[in-house]
Amino acid sequence: MSIIIKTEIEIEKMRIAGRLAADVLDMIAPHVTAGITTNYLNDLCHDYIVNVQQAIPAPLDYRGFPKSICTSINHQVCHGIPSDKKLKSGDILNIDITVQKEGFHGDTSMMFFIGNVPQHAQRLCKITHEALFLGIEQIKAGATLGDIGHAIQKHAEGHRYSVVRDFCGHGIGRDFHEEPQVLHYGKAGDGIALEAGMIITVEPMINQGKHATKSLGDGWTEVTKDHSLSAQYEHTILVTETGYEILTLRQDER
């Protein structure tokens, strides 16, 4: 599958989908507290996307995924399935939202702190968030995918963390996952050159320990092999001639 350069009409539809995805995270934030379940969060997000936004929660039934959002706790790296297990003080939680509206997708995720979170966990999330934006800042027509990955890897490893190799960002548009793959590690100048009109996700997964991951028996949830904490942030990005436009900016980031 080749890389799809979006038209102005498609870009505007992607702006709408991206804004909706960001709005879901803004909506759910006050509900993320100790004692509630990730199933409860899933139900709130599902109802909001379907009934308020008049949109589609893209993860639901995607390749058999059973829920409308992904919720990954502590050492879970990505693709965690919401459950009836209660969140407790000290947990860190990634909520990953993908909304489909009028056939186009907006994809974003962020970390939430549950109650009194240890400083080392807060620091991991802070460095991961910084790495995301250092990667995004490399984006413009003529830059390469390697520029993005290099900036993220340098920042993460500079703080003695590791970058997950098994999962990456991706092109996005009418399809949930399109070309190209966007690695979060690499060498500056390597990889394909970015073109204006490309839309990609940047979504680094950074581990406190080693980068190796393994799949749980549910067929979806990925965890760190060494049981170390993992953090992730994600935005959907439009490549422009002079830089980038973040399509999934939240209220606190605008």
What token pair was written down for 85? 């297990």
CA gap 3, 54 in Å, rounded: 29
CA gap 74, 63 in Å, rounded: 25
Q: Using an 8 Å Cβ cutoff, are 164 and 211 in contact?
A: yes
Percentage of residues of the chain with pLDDT beyond 70 = 100
What token pair was written down for 90? 């000290």
Does 225 map to a domain? yes
Does 2 map to a domain? no
Does 181 map to a domain? yes
pLDDT tens string 132-156: 999 999 999 999 999 999 999 999 9
Q: Which of 33, 11, 26, 100 is nearest to 62 (CA)?
A: 100
CB burial string 127-154: b at 16+ within 10 A, e below = bbbbbbbbbbebbebebbbbbbbbbbbe
Q: Is the pTM of this model over 0.95?
A: yes
Domain count, the chain: 1
pLDDT tens string 15-57: 999 999 999 999 999 999 999 999 999 999 999 999 999 999 9
- List all residues 6 or more positions away from 165 whose beta carbon is below 8 Å from its beta carbon: 185, 211
Within its chain, how far is the Cα of 188 from the centroid? 22
Does 17 map to a domain? yes
Does 3 map to a domain? no
Termini Cα distance of the chain: 34
Question: According to the model, what pLDDT value does residue 164 have?
Answer: 98
Q: What is the CATH number of the domain that holds 89?
A: 3.90.230.10
Question: According to the model, what pLDDT value does residue 254 have?
Answer: 81
18: containing domain: 8-253
Question: According to the model, what pLDDT value does residue 248 have?
Answer: 98
**Phi–psi pair at 18, nearest 5 degrees:** -65, -40
What token pair was written down for 147? 């520029």
Does 1 map to a domain? no
pLDDT along the chain (254 residues), means of 10: 95 98 98 98 99 98 98 98 98 99 98 98 98 98 98 98 98 98 98 98 98 98 98 98 97 86
Question: According to the model, what pLDDT value does residue 13 have?
Answer: 98
- List all residues 6 or more positions away from 172 whose beta carbon is below 8 Å from its beta carbon: 14, 105, 107, 178, 199, 200, 201, 236
Does 135 map to a domain? yes
Does 158 map to a domain? yes
